[in-house]
Amino acid sequence: MKPLNITSAFVILVVKLSAVIVLSSSCSKGEDLLGVGYGSVSFSPTSTFSAPGSLLVKIDGETRDTLTPVKPGTANAILLKAGEHKISLVNENSKQAITDTVVHIQPGKEFIMANFLYTGTAALFNDNDLSHKPDKDSLLVRFVTLDATLPDVMNIDILVYYTLGGTQTALVKKMPGVSKQQFSNYIQLPDPNSLVPAGAKNTRYVLEGYNATSNEKVMSVSQNNMGYIQTNMTGTSIIWTNNLVLSMGIGPGASATNKVRQPKTIFYRIAAQ
């Protein structure tokens, strides 16, 4: 039997011990494990803040990052064990949860949260569900209230106006429960030009709003503080863009003398047909 080389045996032992130590260190730190029972989550840097403040990113109750107007996304992807995790955004000053959701983390994959708009009271997330799409030659739209002077919850009437004598057609749609905390459900609208007589110009959808509790009219044509929808405008000619999926915010008028509200497009995409 060939005698054992003591030096070689010692080297082999040191190498094995080193490998065990490195593996143990990696496991204890949660590093280098992406794909071995671990995945990750991150917040998009394209998110925006329309109000000052900081949001704590809490995962299963533990603060893992902070989002601010300067840094609206996570600095790095956050490593997590595969499985379900509760992710919350918490106002750093008030400690109130702005939103929370449960996500499923898959091994070796990064879960990127949809980009959002932080209004100071709510985090409004983009809709990445591609199954949400309108019928051909129509659009889908949903609303949130961004004007602090409007009621917390409104019911919206959607009408069609055009310039032939200021004629108003029949009521087109009713949209209940438009709030300040989250987007409403979608409503589908066809091209308004298909609903008016030949020769009509400057055709648009007009929004009138009612306090959902008292039914007081708070947005109206008669008070010239209504809202209206237009997807593209050149001069006085409105060009309707079909197949859009729109998320819009109803804010204040342009000035103290111009109270007409033009809802702001927060998120949009053109749906594949």
Per-residue pLDDT reduced to its tens digit, 161-186: 888 877 777 778 999 999 998 999 99
71: pLDDT strictly greater than 90: yes
Mean pLDDT of 185-202: 88
Cβ burial 51-90 (10 Å sphere, 16+ → b, else e): eebbbbbbbeeeeebebeeeebbbeeebbbebeebebbbb
Mean pLDDT of the chain: 84
d(CA 250, CA 264): 7
Within 8 A by CB and 6+ apart from 197, the residues are: 162, 164
Count the neighbouring beta carbons within 10 Å of the beta carbon of residue 4: 8
51: pLDDT strictly greater than 50: yes
Coil, strand or helix at 37: coil
Higher pLDDT, 70 or 23: 70
Q: Which amino acid is at 85?
A: H
For residue 190, the Cα-to-chain-centroid distance in whole angstroms is: 24
Residue 26 host element (H or E): helix 6-29
pLDDT at position 196, please?
87
Confidence of residue 34 (pLDDT cuts 50, 70, 90): low
pLDDT at position 16, please?
37
Q: Is 115 left (phi over 0), alpha (psi -120 to 50) or beta?
A: beta
d(CA 208, CA 161): 12
Instruction: Copy the structure tokens of residue 105.
Output: 């983390």
pTM over 0.85: no
Q: What confidence tens digit (pLDDT) does each residue in 240-266 have?
A: 788 889 999 999 988 888 898 988 888
29: pLDDT strictly greater than 70: no
pLDDT at position 15, please?
35
pLDDT at position 33, please?
55
Domains, the chain: 38-125 (2.60.40), 138-270 (2.60.40)
